[in-house]
Amino acid sequence: KAGVTQTPRYLIKTRGQQVTLSCSPISGHRSVSWYQQTPGQGLQFLFEYFSETQRNKGNFPGRFSGRQFSNSRSEMNVSTLELGDSALYLCASSHKTNEAFFGQGTRLTVV
Amino acid sequence: EDQVTQSPEALRLQEGESSSLNCSYTVSGLRGLFWYRQDPGKGPEFLFTLYSAGEEKEKERLKATLTKKESFLHITAPKPEDSATYLCAVQASFADSWGKLQFGAGTQVVVTP
């Protein structure tokens, strides 16, 4: 069974630009969550989508947004990039109360 | 506010030297506690889910236990391939929260031959 797929794996962007990251969950999983991982803050929850609806949101500014499509694939968008947005962005999919499975992440570098 | 604290921050072990990692938590109703392993530059790899105090789970050289306030990950006779960062996360029990995990900072484990 295929795992969680995130694309692209690596990105380099310039301050002020915007970026879109993609996540394809495990087949049958309807919940997709996004996390930001940095050396200083660790893994921090961004938001969760279930059946195309945002169900939870972490403490991040409005520049961070996301959406989920009818096939459960999800995208997250960061607008007006700042240097501090450089991080590993991780997507996890889960099914009801079962464990969350993570993708390999997208490494975003803002220069 | 939910909080997860892992200790120690780093652990250096000789091959075969058993040890334990600690995860203490405060959460308004625990739905589940999760252990993950993460290698550099990769996403966390699921290891265990624990749901209630007294529960134990084992996988190869790893054993996870849960009490009402903390969880332990025991590594028995570790090998160099067990070197990784081990992450603990909690999932609160209110109805719409099972997609949200609160993570600890992790314990970086290095096992030398």
What does the pLDDT look like over B8-34, one tens digit per residue? 999 999 999 999 999 999 988 888 999
Instruction: Check CB contact under 8 Å for A42 and B105.
Output: yes
Instruction: Check CB contact under 8 Å for A94 and B98.
Output: yes
Cβ atoms of B3 and B25 closer than 8 Å:
yes
Predicted local distance difference test score (pLDDT) of residue B97: 67
Between A and B, how many residue pairs show a Cβ–Cβ distance under 8 A?
68
User: Mean pLDDT across the stretch B65-74?
Assistant: 96
Predicted local distance difference test score (pLDDT) of residue B95: 57
Q: How far is CA B54 from the centre of its chain?
A: 16
Give phi and psi for A85, each to the nearest 5. Answer: -85, -5
Tokens encoding A96: 């009801």
Which residue among A4, A42, A94 places its CB closest to the CB of B99?
A94
Predicted local distance difference test score (pLDDT) of residue A106: 98
A contact test, residue of B101, B102, B103 with most A CBs within 10 A: B101
A contact test, residue of B9, B86, B93, B98 with most A CBs within 10 A: B98
Rounded to whole angstroms, the Cα distance separating A16 from A27 reads: 35
> Which residues in chain A come in under a pLDDT of 70?
1, 96-98
Rounded to whole angstroms, the Cα distance separating B105 from B9 reads: 8
Chain A touched by B96 (CB under 8 Å): yes
Predicted local distance difference test score (pLDDT) of residue A97: 59
Which residue among B42, B49, B103 places its CB closest to the CB of A99?
B49
DSSP single-letter state for residue B80: G
